[in-house]
Every structure is written in structure tokens, then in C-alpha cells.
Chains A and B, each alone.
Chain A
Amino acid sequence: AQKITQTQPGMFVQEKEAVTLDCTYDTSDQSYGLFWYKQPSSGEMIFLIYQGSYDEQNATEGRYSLNFQKARKSANLVISASQLGDSAMYFCAGQRGSGGSNYKLTFGKGTLLTVNP
């Protein structure tokens, strides 16, 4: 089984600054995947970034990067140059396996990010 922990219920950041959202995971699997999704107030879940357990380099997607520290079992999301539109709920999620054999996601409790002008 997997457990995903997000310890920050809420975070504030000034526009144009960078922010780190924390995520730790607990799994006995050797192969797994870690995801970050954004959920604006409208409710839709938007995929941001993915990191496989065997990926040696940290994933990056535009302003999003994933700080993957396997030994610490952490997969923090870094958002650079925050924009007002980044204000949303952010969920970290884990997936068993990393080859598409099991798509189920286990979600953390989420972090509500507010970007101040």
C-alpha cells in the first residue's frame, strides 16, 4: 500500500516568487510513480508533472519542477515565478508501478496555495 503525506494545509506566496509544496510518500514498492495535480476552484484536476522511481533526473515541466529525493522519500513540487492563476489546491499522488500496469492513484490531502499580488 502507498501513503502520501502533504503536511502544509495552506501556503502563501508573493506573485513572481518561487514556492515549494511538500510531499512525502511511504511505499514498499521498488517501482512507483509520483504525480502532482492542480485543482482550481472549478474542480477539474489538471496534471502538472510526473516522476518515476527509476528516473535519475528530477522532472521539469515549464515553471514546475519536482524535487525528488528518493532516500528521504520526498517529492516536493517547486513552482517558479508564481502567477495569480496558480492559486489553487495542489495534490500529490502516488501510483504503484511505473510502466502503466496499474494506473490507480493514491492522493495526499492537498495544499491550498494562494498567490498574493
Chain B
Amino acid sequence: GAVVSQHPSWVICKSGTSVKIECRSLDFQATTMFWYRQFPKQSLMLMATSNEGSKATYEQGVEKDKFLINHASLTLSTLTVTSAHPEDSSFYICSAPRGFGANVLTFGAGSRLTVL
């Protein structure tokens, strides 16, 4: 079945540093990927839509310069949290449309970011 791999699964970093999270579609091509953010005990909030070969589309209120998204190939999208601060600590999860029908999203296992 469709598999989306996300790496790292968890990361701890110091305030002010940048962190890169990778999202890979392992057995299918994904021209579009979605990045969500989830705070503890809350719902998933869409951050941005990653488009292969073009700029990402950000949701209202999401800082483009803080959350850099690059969709370098048909199987890889990356999210870079730049100059991370403690309030950026969250669970970041990516998804891509594939499997069970064209409109179902397959999710990665998520990346838990803790900024000290």
C-alpha cells in the first residue's frame, strides 16, 4: 500500500537553530503534499500545501519565512523550521494523496519537535 515516510520522528534543538523535516512517498509519486501541525491534545491544522516544481501555498497566518517548504522531487518534500523558538514545539505531520482512491490522504508517522 501507499507509504509516506517522515524523518526524523523526533528532534530536540536549541532555540535559534533550524530544523529540517523530510517527507517521502516511498512507492508512489506525489506532486502535492500537505504539512499539518498538531499541538498536544488538539486537532491537525493545515500549514501549507507543497507543490513539486513550484512554490508552496501557505495557509493564512503561517509565516512563509519561518516554515520553509521545498518540494524538490516527486517523492520528497521538506519542511524547515528556521530560527526555532519554544513556541514552535509541536507535532508536524505530512501527507500525500494516494491509495484507496485518488482523494484519500496517506499520512506520515509525524515528527515531534521540541525547542529548548
Contacts and interface: CB of A to CB of B under 8 A. Distances in A.
B109 A44 contact: yes
Given A43-B110, A44-B110, A33 B43 contact: no
Contacts of A43: 91, 93, 109-110, 112
Interface in A76-116: 91, 95, 97-100, 103-110
Nearest to B95: A45
Contacts of B32: 103
B104 A35 contact: yes
B105 A105 contact: yes
21 contacts: A37-B107, A42-B109, A43-B91, A43-B93, A43-B110, A43-B112, A44-B107, A44-B110, A45-B95, A47-B100, A91-B44, A99-B103, A100-B97, A103-B32, A103-B103, A103-B105, A105-B44, A106-B46, A107-B43, A107-B45, A109-B42
Interface of A: 33, 35, 37, 42-47, 50, 91, 95, 97-100, 103-110
A33 B103 contact: yes
Nearest to A52: B103
Interface residues of B, number: 25
Contacts of B67: none
Contacts of B112: 43
A46 B102 CA distance: 16
Is the contact region of chain B dominated by helix, strand, or loop, or is it mixed? strand
B8 to A, nearest CB: 13
B106 A103 contact: no
B93 A45 contact: yes
A50 B49 contact: no
B92 to A, nearest CB: 10
A53 to B, nearest CB: 12
B42 A98 contact: no
